[in-house]
């Protein structure tokens, strides 16, 4: 991709970001997340009505009069974008590939974070950890993230959400707002998800193509598996084959919904032909 094309895409994303920033990522931004915390600010003499649980007993003993700890709201948040770059994301039958939608949503969230002076980091994963950029502030840092989202070429093509979540647990020691962007066509990640969701504020953004749910009757056709690189001949005229495919797809999605709901994480569903800005706005207004 040429530099001029990248700049055009970045500009397009910035324009879309403003719509989000005006509605969500302004003063109300922090109140939408459990990630908001309280940090110690100072001690002051006890006043009538203060919560006795806030008394600083060490200072009280030293001065022989009661002092309380004063906390202030922690306004700076850390956002981490976990983006699936496996082979299945390079599929799309409508306006664009799933990868393109994932990229635009992640870029929009990244731009929104810096408008609020928050840190933002990026984790690109397939069945391996492809790239990790630790959270930092600043426009130049976000532009680097956007460039990686647009240009990065993964070395692997399968999906392993378990490995990505385990890596997140290892590198993110402080509480963060975590957005997981994927089609979530994987299983076996319930344990690391529970661990991550207990510590971080997790939202899953599932991007999917409407034609993925079931395959049409097209007769005998070659089907290329983008994650394994293998081509299979599939008899789509067989009702049994079509039903088996749909059942497998629905099992994957049911597993995804069940595990994220049980862990207390948020869920956003977005088709490749839908307006993701509208879906994001709807989600943050509900939480």
Indicate which CATH number applies to the domain containing 125.
3.40.50.410
**What's the pTM value of the predicted model, to 2 decimals?**
0.78
2 vs 165, more confident: 165
Given a contact cutoff of 8 angstroms between Cβ atoms, the answer to whether 164 and 129 are in contact is yes
Residues 170 and 48 in one domain: no
Give the pair of three-digit tokens for residue 221. 């056709």
Q: What are the pLDDT digits (tens) for 168-211?
A: 999 998 889 999 999 999 999 999 999 999 999 999 999 988 87
122 and 55 share one domain? no
Q: Give the E-state strand segments of the chain in sequence order.
A: 37-45, 67-74, 78-84, 119-125, 129-136, 177-182, 201-208, 220-224, 231-235, 266-271
254-257-261-264 Cα dihedral, nearest 10 degrees? 140
Burial of 56 (0-12, 13-18, 19+ CB in 10 A): middle
CB atoms within 10 A of CB 24: 18
Number of domains forming the structure of the chain: 2
275 in the same domain as 254: yes
Last residue of a domain, one of 47, 74, 101: 74
Residue 284's pLDDT band, with cuts at 50, 70 and 90, is: confident
To the nearest whole percent, how much of the chain has pLDDT over 90? 37
In terms of domains, do 137 and 216 share one?
yes
- Residue 108 and residue 68 share a domain: no
Owning domain of residue 50: 37-74
């Amino acid at each position: 991709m040429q530099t001029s094309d990248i700049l055009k895409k970045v500009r397009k994303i910035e324009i879309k970001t403003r719509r989000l920033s005006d509605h969500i990522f302004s003063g109300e931004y922090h109140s939408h997340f459990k990630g908001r915390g309280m940090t110690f600010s100072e001690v002051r003499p006890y006043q009538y009505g203060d919560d006795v649980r806030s008394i600083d007993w060490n200072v009280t003993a030293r001065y022989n009069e009661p002092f309380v700890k004063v906390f202030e709201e922690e306004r700076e948040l850390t956002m981490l974008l976990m983006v699936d770059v496996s082979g299945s994301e390079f599929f799309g039958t409508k306006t664009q590939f799933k990868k393109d939608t994932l990229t635009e949503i992640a870029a929009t969230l990244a731009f929104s974070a810096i408008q609020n002076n928050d840190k933002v980091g990026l984790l690109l994963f397939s069945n391996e950890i492809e790239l990790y950029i630790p959270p930092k502030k600043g426009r130049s840092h976000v532009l680097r993230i956007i460039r990686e989202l647009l240009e990065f070429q993964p070395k692997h093509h399968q999906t392993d959400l378990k490995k990505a979540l385990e890596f997140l647990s290892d590198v993110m020691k402080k509480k963060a707002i975590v957005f997981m962007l994927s089609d979530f066509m994987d299983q076996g990640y319930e344990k690391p998800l529970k661990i991550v969701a207990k510590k971080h504020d997790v939202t899953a953004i599932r991007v999917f193509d409407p034609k993925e749910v079931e395959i049409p009757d097209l007769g005998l056709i070659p089907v290329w598996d983008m994650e394994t690189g293998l081509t299979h001949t599939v008899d789509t005229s067989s009702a049994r084959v079509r039903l088996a495919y749909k059942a497998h797809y629905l099992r994957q999605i049911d597993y995804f919904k069940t595990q994220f709901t049980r862990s207390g994480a948020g869920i956003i569903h977005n088709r490749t032909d839908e307006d993701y800005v509208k879906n994001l706005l709807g989600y943050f207004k509900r939480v």
